[in-house]
Structure 1
């Protein structure tokens, strides 16, 4: 009897992108792990162009440093948030306390499939959505976070 193949998120189908958790290590409370969206989890290599004397047809392209984009986190406005206290302390008092973060993509059992370990993160910007009396929507706060780099771990 042939063994039946199992279709799991790690096998034939890609995992869903709407089940995730954001953790600020040593900052935040239980509400501070829930976000509507996370953007900016990407990296790229800078390219150095080298011009060679006498060669006018092309430039040599060499790999340079790795570059990581700023993170953009969005969620409904929270009135009691340790993350916002951390951000206000940085933006108002210029007291920057970089923290590490974990951004985990979860499966249906709420266990991590992939985790992006973000190192030395600090707040760059905090904003809220426009207040508009003609719309029926929640107030969304947006956090922009700068960091040094991230590593990806499976599980």
Structure 2
């Protein structure tokens, strides 16, 4: 007699929220997760057949968020954040205390219970991009936000 295996409870990608001051959580539709890379430091001591390797500096990849844009113009949080980083028309930029923000990426299960949380420290908006306009396209316009950050836990 064959025993049927019960399905595993895996995380599902669709149940998440981005918590950033000034942004409407419901508008986010896509988010990359933080990535960490530790540099490799090598040393070739005299007389050794192989290099010695140890951990070096830690690097964190940028995050990309994608969200819909409200037609009433009330959702300009990304543009406001970008102007805190740099005001091109005035030829000046902000200081880190004005533009660094912490944010959370939160994942939920099917019951709406929080299952995982990534706390992002010292994030700032590095890039802001919009979908191309196209006459034959009926999709919503999406705002793409690139964030750099100090570290995550």
- Answer whether TM exceeds 0.5 for this pair: yes
Match of 1:83 among 74, 77, 83: 77
Contact 2:17 2:25 in 1 (8 A): no
Contact 1:102 1:118 in 2 (8 A): yes
Q: SS where residue 28 of structure 2 aligns?
A: coil
Counterpart in the other structure of 2:135? 133
Contact 1:20 1:106 in 2 (8 A): yes
Counterpart in the other structure of 1:119? 121
Task: Establish whether residue 100 from structure 1 lines up as the match of residue 102 from structure 2.
Answer: yes
- Report the number of matched residues: 138
Aligned CA-pair RMSD: 2.1
Change (3 A) 1:32 1:87: farther
Q: CA deviation at 1:33?
A: 4.9
Q: CA deviation at 1:97?
A: 1.7
> Which 5+ residue runs of structure 1 have no aligned equivalent?
1-6
Counterpart in the other structure of 1:3? none
- Deviating above 4 A after TM superposition, structure 1's stretches of 4 or more consecutive aligned residues are none
What is the CA–CA distance in structure 2 between the aligned matches of 1:127 and 1:88, rounded to whole Å? 14
TM-score, reference length from structure 2: 0.79
Counterpart in the other structure of 2:57? 65
Contact 1:106 1:112 in 2 (8 A): yes
Q: CA deviation at 1:40?
A: 4.3
Contact 2:131 2:142 in 1 (8 A): yes
Q: CA deviation at 1:28?
A: 1.1
TM-score, reference length from structure 1: 0.78
Contact 1:45 1:65 in 2 (8 A): yes
What is the CA–CA distance in structure 2 between the aligned matches of 1:129 and 1:32, rounded to whole Å? 20
What is the CA–CA distance in structure 1 between the aligned matches of 2:25 and 2:12, rounded to whole Å? 21
Change (3 A) 1:122 1:143: same
Task: Establish whether residue 18 from structure 1 lines up as the match of residue 14 from structure 2.
Answer: yes
> Which 5+ residue runs of structure 2 have no aligned equivalent?
1-5
Q: CA deviation at 1:120?
A: 0.7
